Amino acid sequence: MVSSPHEAMHRIFQQDPGVFARAVRALGIPFDDPVSATPFPTDLTENRPLERRVDTLLSIETKKGKFLLAVEAQGKKVPEKPRNWAYYVAHLHAKYQMPAVLLVVCDSRSTAAWASEAVDFGPPEWPSLTLRPLVLGPDNVPVIDDPVQARRDIPLTVLSAVLHRRDPCAGAILKVLVDALKGLEARDPDTATIFVELTSQGLGETSAAATWRDLMTDLSFFTSPISEEIRAEGRAQGVAQGVAQGVAQGVAQGVAKGLTEAKIEDILLLLDGRDVHVSDADRDRITSCHDLDTLNRWFTRAIRATSVTEVFGEDRADTGE
């Protein structure tokens, strides 16, 4: 099964093909910025004897000409992969009559070192073909923790966050990324949502993902399915932690109070983020409600409501039921 980090590591190049040229310039490889980029079919099978599929395939056009960019996300060492990669490059060159570049994106230093090794095909006396992948990994993709740099290149910052997600610097990268996304949200909310989702996918099951969930509460991407899922998971974890702590301390009542207060805060934050007007009377009604089931019901409605009236629905003002 393809993992979410695997998808994010190559989909970022679909969203912004220019991130390839910007990333490899740091390695001293002078690729020009794309003038245009066209997605190509990723199925490289011939007559279907054996399925072969590259993760992402783009036709890149620069001022100097065209080339194919085949992007492979690689999470671990797979001994037979170099044979497949050699096939990809030869097949693409023959089929499209364009030079092909194989880019392997790795989130592990050991995997990146393995993928970077040149592999000869043929007898040692005279190899007929040598595979030399271009590899991006934690050791050569920069840590972007500067706010100015993050705002200047959000796609590269997303890639930096994904590839460094297991490193101590991950939190610093995510903080500047959130600030950059706030600015992008004001100009282009749809694109901002795409980068939020790519980051969420790419962080996988790491401690950086928990940091990202906390930072996401400051953003208003409440209609994004992945963002809503993150909030739900985060709330479930918070409830579990609160209950466990309450049992340990023998303060069940305090746990219940903490849960209702947290849900009230979530509702008000959600309505404010979606620019739904809340009068003083409505705010008092929300903050004075102590029934967690009612608050959960209001929160669910608030995700898509355009007015507080829609949030309350048919609940009676005197009881909240």
Domains of the chain: 4-136 (3.40.1350), 142-205 (no CATH), 222-321 (no CATH)
Sort residue 18 into left (φ over 0), alpha (ψ -120 to 50) or beta: alpha
**pLDDT for res 255:** 47
Determine what percent of the chain is predicted with pLDDT higher than 70: 81
Quick one: DSSP state of residue 309? H
Mean pLDDT over residues 28-38, rounded?
Answer: 86
Q: How far apart are the C-alpha atoms of 310 and 301, rounded to whole Å?
A: 7
Q: How far apart are the C-alpha atoms of 166 and 294, rounded to whole Å?
A: 39
Q: How far apart are the C-alpha atoms of 298 and 305, rounded to whole Å?
A: 10
Q: Are 114 and 77 in contact (CB under 8 A)?
A: yes
Q: Are 315 and 294 in contact (CB under 8 A)?
A: yes
Tell me the DSSP string of 179-227: HHHHHHHHH-HHHHHHHHHHHHHHH-SSHHHHHHHHHHTTS--TT-HHH
pTM beyond 0.85: the answer is no
- How far from 64 is each of 69, 143, 210, CA to CA, in Å? 15, 30, 44
Residue predicted with more confidence, 112 or 237: 112
pLDDT at residue 321 is higher than 70: no
Determine what percent of the chain is predicted with pLDDT higher than 90: 39
**Mean of all residue pLDDT scores within the chain:** 82
**pLDDT digits over 40-60, tens only?**
777 655 544 444 688 899 999
Q: How far apart are the C-alpha atoms of 226 and 240, rounded to whole Å?
A: 21
pLDDT at residue 243 is higher than 50: no
Give the Cβ contact number of residue 151 at 10 Å.
17
Closest CA to 39 of 26, 55, 24: 55
* DSSP-H helix ranges across the chain: 4-15, 18-25, 81-96, 109-116, 147-152, 154-163, 170-187, 189-203, 207-216, 225-249, 252-273, 280-287, 292-302, 308-312
